[in-house]
Chains A and B, each alone.
Chain A
Amino acid sequence: MENILSLESISYRHQEEIVALDNVSVKVKEGEMFAVIGANGSGKSTLLQIMNGLLHPMSGNVTFRGAQITEETLKDRGFLKYFRTRVGFVFQDSDVQLFCPTVLDELLYGPLQLEIAEEEAMERASEVMKMLNIDGLKDRPSYMLSGGEKKRVAIGSVLTMNPEVLLLDEPTNGLDPRTECFLVELMLDLSEAGKTLVIATHDLSIVDELNARTALLSEEHTIEKIGPSDEILRDEELLLRANLIHEHVHYHGKTQHKHRHSHYFSHDH
């Protein structure tokens, strides 16, 4: 499979001061499910924003289908349209992403910008609403939605543009188990439909469920390892080093018991 997104030796500092990424190289293949895991503050969101050309690295190269993604290339009208319609981003905080008066407007925003005929745009919006079970919300403003509904609308607003690559930043963060389950199934279906998915998360259980190729970011903001999810998730030493699991002491009756703990692993007694 061809590399669709490629990042080579990327370094980025927030406010030119705080290191967010240090010499990170990642290649995402077309149609694959790719997860970026790491502790809080390891640089997952920054990495995704760089993939979407929202932030530009201080050093290193970013390419989409071999074309450079830089501040300069994104100033070209044709290339901007080409890139933005092909790479969609779902933000962690849905509130920042929803800016149209109603849910329907939100879903139509992308297609209408692409100058797709209104009839076809409406059709896309209605199909996406049906898929995401939000057809009953189409006339509601975003501030009258629950967290889970907002997340569905945010995903829908990107899907109506039919992107090839979907970048999802902490997609299941703060959602109830049912919505989380719905999103995992949706991601699997989109992957099966041929979409490339890049997910940034510290929720190890969804990485396992998605069976994604996984990049582990260390707390030093470098890539610790890239490999199949089961290989990475089985390596407790690696996860402990990356601060994704911790040593945990508790009691069974009167017996003190110490083991490594995460919300992904179960442990044997």
Chain B
Amino acid sequence: MKNNIPSFLMDKRASEVVYENKRIRANFIEKGIGSMASFMRSGHIQWRSFLKKGFFQKLDARVKLFFLLLFVIIVSIKKEFMPEVLIGGIVFLLVVLSRLDIVRFYRKVLLFGLIFGFIVALPAALNIITKGEIILPLIHLPRDYDIWIYYIPADIGITREGSRAVMMLTSRVINSVSISFLVLYTTPFPQIIKALKMLRVPDAFLLIITLSYKYIFLFIKTIEDMYLAKKSRMVCKVHNPDARGWITGRMALLYRKSQGRFEEVYRAMNSRGFSDDIKVYKHPGFENRDRVAGAVLLVVGMLLVVM
């Protein structure tokens, strides 16, 4: 083969190191891949939090799922602000007892609360949507307008009733998210699936979420590898149209790979006797600790309902 080595491969390159003092900024792909990597990291952080010997980690997954369902229902049916604050306090106490990283936990909860609670509900604070007493006037128009099904008054502002509705919705979202995160951060995923099986959630649904959860991590790893492979051949700034082209091609490859993968997994499951039914080995019985904790949470929940 010796004679086949092309002559350009024999060319020696200048070895002096070259700097231009012009910086390349990270493009949107790099930032996106960075976010995915941090998602993977958060999976590991979650795994670490399961291992902490806190109050909630020691409880049976069924008790925790019961707590999740009960408290999310209570959060949704309460119409006053005070019970919501009280529920927030109880969840905070449980987070502390479960020895979770409070700053990291509430940073995530507040982010979700801000996006899905406050920002989504904010227009409801205006008198265009919620009628009532204006406490903060914002715009004055020359006259009232009727546009399609909307009535726009001349004075637009934030109403007392509207701001109350926004506060209620935001506090409900924050409470629901913090309750869900508390359970997710203190219960390994396989235990959640087992507990759902005990609660007679359909097998097809459990199978889909189990495989999806696994694939999210697998495919994030594949995407990360694809990006590294591109990065290793990148010698200059990538322009956005090229980056979009690369993403499209990679999406097609990922689709093909995932299609191949799920067919293989399904065949592997069939070859090991899968019959559309998830079998779980016997769930250990409740311990006294689970019974007491379940009863206390039930009593607290009932007290909140009658409040």
A15 to B253, CA, bound (A): 26
6 A-B pairs with C-beta separation under 8 A: A54-B228, A66-B17, A78-B20, A85-B13, A110-B235, A161-B235
B2 in contact with A17 (CB, 8 Å):
no
Chain A residues lying within 8 Å of B133, measured Cβ to Cβ, are none
Chain A residues lying within 8 Å of B10, measured Cβ to Cβ, are 193-194
Smallest CB separation, B263 vs chain A (Å):
16
Which of B5, B11, B41 has a CB less than 8 Å from the CB of A189? B5
With A81-B18, A162-B8, A164-B13 already in contact, the answer to whether A17 and B253 are too (CB < 8 A) is no
Report how many residues on chain B are interfacial, defined by Cβ distance under 8 Å: 45
Chain B residues lying within 8 Å of A88, measured Cβ to Cβ, are 232-233
Chain B residues lying within 8 Å of A143, measured Cβ to Cβ, are 253, 256
B234 contacts chain A at the CB level, 8 A cutoff? yes
Closest to A74 in B: B24
B233 in contact with A157 (CB, 8 Å):
yes
Q: How many A-B pairs with Cβ below 8 Å? A: 132
A15-68 contacts to B (CB < 8 Å): 15-18, 49, 52, 54-55, 65-67
Question: Could you list which residues of chain A lie within 8 angstroms of chain B, going by C-beta atoms?
Answer: 15-18, 49, 52, 54-55, 65-67, 75-82, 84-86, 88-89, 91, 93, 95-97, 99, 101, 109-110, 113-114, 123-124, 127-128, 130-131, 143, 157-159, 161-162, 164, 185-186, 189-190, 192-195
B228 in contact with A99 (CB, 8 Å):
no
A81 to B12, CA, bound (A): 16
A77 in contact with B237 (CB, 8 Å):
yes
B306 contacts chain A at the CB level, 8 A cutoff? no
Which of A18, A93, A113 has a CB less than 8 Å from the CB of B235? A113
Chain B residues lying within 8 Å of A91, measured Cβ to Cβ, are 225, 228-229, 232
B6 contacts chain A at the CB level, 8 A cutoff? yes
A84 to B20, CA, bound (A): 15
Smallest CB separation, A238 vs chain B (Å):
31
A189 in contact with B8 (CB, 8 Å):
no
Chain B residues lying within 8 Å of A54, measured Cβ to Cβ, are 228, 231-232
B1-45 contacts to A (CB < 8 Å): 1-2, 4-13, 15, 17-25, 40-41, 44
B256 in contact with A81 (CB, 8 Å):
no
Which of A18, A66, A99 has a CB less than 8 Å from the CB of B226? A99
With A17-B44, A192-B2 already in contact, the answer to whether A82 and B237 are too (CB < 8 A) is no
Which of A17, A52, A79, A128 has a CB less than 8 Å from the CB of B18? A79
With A85-B235, A162-B8 already in contact, the answer to whether A78 and B13 are too (CB < 8 A) is no
With A15-B40, A96-B222 already in contact, the answer to whether A124 and B13 are too (CB < 8 A) is no
Closest to A158 in B: B233
Contact pattern, B 147-164, Cβ under 8 Å of A = 1, otherwise 0: 000000000000000000
A16 to B47, CA, bound (A): 13
Tell me whether chain A's interface is mostly helix, strand or loop, or mixed: helix
B250 contacts chain A at the CB level, 8 A cutoff? yes
Closest to B26 in A: A75
Smallest CB separation, B195 vs chain A (Å):
27
B225 in contact with A159 (CB, 8 Å):
no
B52 contacts chain A at the CB level, 8 A cutoff? no
B104 contacts chain A at the CB level, 8 A cutoff? no
A128 in contact with B6 (CB, 8 Å):
yes
Closest to A101 in B: B249
B208 contacts chain A at the CB level, 8 A cutoff? no
Chain A residues lying within 8 Å of B230, measured Cβ to Cβ, are 99
Chain A residues lying within 8 Å of B11, measured Cβ to Cβ, are 162
